[in-house]
């Protein structure tokens, strides 16, 4: 009889644990959300200025190097902030991918202009769309932490 009670209590405990859903997520960070938005705007402004104020032959990398560096500094800052936050693997990965893509685009601009003496508008338009998607993923990940925490507190 004692064994039956013990097994029944273990079974009840296991069933209760299976019914519970525990999600560990980082705390929402409004400062990071603002930095993501500000950095996204920097990128958008750089690409729009490149498209609207220059021709492909006027897009020497050196004219935009400061803007590329400024964005890279912000992305490195976001990455470092995300790395010190516990339970933040998704945001770290998204930021790492964004930074890697940004560096790739910077190097493509430099290489294309050195090789052809121009940087095509099509490249700018495509890069702008792709990098915007990365920033959208970053802000969605950050906002998701707030939503999940709110749901857990209900």
Per-residue pLDDT of the chain (154 residues; tens, 9 = 90+): 666 565 555 545 444 555 554 455 678 899 999 999 999 999 999 999 999 999 999 999 999 999 999 999 999 999 999 999 988 899 999 999 999 999 999 999 999 999 999 999 999 999 999 999 999 999 999 988 777 666 666 6
Q: Which residues of 50-80 are buried (b: 16+ CB within 10 A; e: fewer)?
A: beeebebeebbbeebeebbeebeebbeebbe
**Residue 82 and residue 95 in contact, taking contact as beta carbons nearer than 8 Å:** yes
Can you give the pLDDT at residue 152? Answer: 62
**Residue 75 and residue 102 in contact, taking contact as beta carbons nearer than 8 Å:** yes
Per the rule left: phi > 0, alpha: psi between -120 and 50, beta: everything else, 54 is: beta
d(CA 143, CA 151): 13
Can you give the pLDDT at residue 145? Answer: 77
Can you give the pLDDT at residue 146? Answer: 78
Fold category of 25-152 in CATH = 1.20.120
Please list, in sequence order, all residues whose beta carbon lies within 8 angstroms of the beta carbon of residue 17, skipping any fewer than 6 positions away. none
Structure tokens at 38: 């500000």
d(CA 71, CA 105): 12
pTM for this predicted structure: 0.80
């Amino acid at each position: 009889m004692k064994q039956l009670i013990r097994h029944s209590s273990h079974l009840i405990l296991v069933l209760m644990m299976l019914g519970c859903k525990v999600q560990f997520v980082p705390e929402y960070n409004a400062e990071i959300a603002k930095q993501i938005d500000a950095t996204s705007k920097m990128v958008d402004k750089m690409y729009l200025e490149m498209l609207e104020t220059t021709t492909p032959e006027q897009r020497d990398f050196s004219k935009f190097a400061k803007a590329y560096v400024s964005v890279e500094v912000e992305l490195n800052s976001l990455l470092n902030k995300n790395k010190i936050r516990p339970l933040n693997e998704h945001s770290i990965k998204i930021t790492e991918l964004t930074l890697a893509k940004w560096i790739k685009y910077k190097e493509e601009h430099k290489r294309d202009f050195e090789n052809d003496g121009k940087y095509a508008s099509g490249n700018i338009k495509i890069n702008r769309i792709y990098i915007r998607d990365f920033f959208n993923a970053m802000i969605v990940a950050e906002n998701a932490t707030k939503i999940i925490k709110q749901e857990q507190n209900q």
